Amino acid sequence: MNLDEKSQSNHYNPIVYVKQLDNFYDILEYEDNHKIQEDDVMTLINTLIANTKVEGIDSTTGDPFWIKAEMIYLQALFYYTIRHYDKRHQNFTTVLNLIRLSSPNNNGVSELDSLFLEWEAVEPDSIGVKQYKHFKVAAGTPKMMSTIIMTATARLAIFNIKEVHELTDDDDMELERIGMPVNDNDPLLKEINNNSKKHIGNGKIAIFIITKPSDRNI
């Protein structure tokens, strides 16, 4: 993972590691059935919020409401992305595209509202639908909603940079190999691969991270 020369780096997309844990093999399942472990998304958003900062909200208000409302909004977007897009498009680029659909029309309804209404008609109990409803309630007024959306946009702005979105649009870090048997002929590894749609390599892997010493944001 080369964060100094990003064009020379392997790619890392954390969304592909969102999983379901009904049983052991579900960890390794890559079917497009969209069954996920829902709190993985919450963990991802919590990590994103904890490691980024939006000037003017994080540093001046001291009010946790804005962060909580933004978290619910982002959770809804990530759930929508995972549920409605194939693996190739489950990334931050898609999330940002959804954010751009948040502007309301003259009737106060956005394209994003319409997408979630369509989802609700099919799966009313989906956690993504529920979180989006909570976001709409939390937003209260158009001005508050605009502030929440602006904050989320600012937080994810770095993923608009060409090198960053290319680095995170797909994944070839093979983090699923961590903890696997180190021998290709190990019976457990063979059994895992017999029950997985994606081949999992052996656990003989080292991960190197190159950073810019002068960049405090990495």
pLDDT digits (tens), the chain, 218 positions: 999 999 999 999 999 888 654 444 443 443 444 566 778 899 999 999 988 877 655 544 556 888 999 999 999 999 999 999 998 999 999 999 999 999 988 888 999 999 999 999 999 999 999 999 999 999 988 899 999 999 999 999 999 999 999 999 999 999 989 999 999 999 999 998 888 777 899 999 999 999 988 766 55
Q: What is the pTM of this model?
A: 0.84
User: Residue 210: beta bridge partners?
Assistant: 2
Q: Tell me how many degrees the CA angle 84-86-89 measures, rounded to the nearest 5.
A: 95
CB atoms within 10 A of CB 133: 15
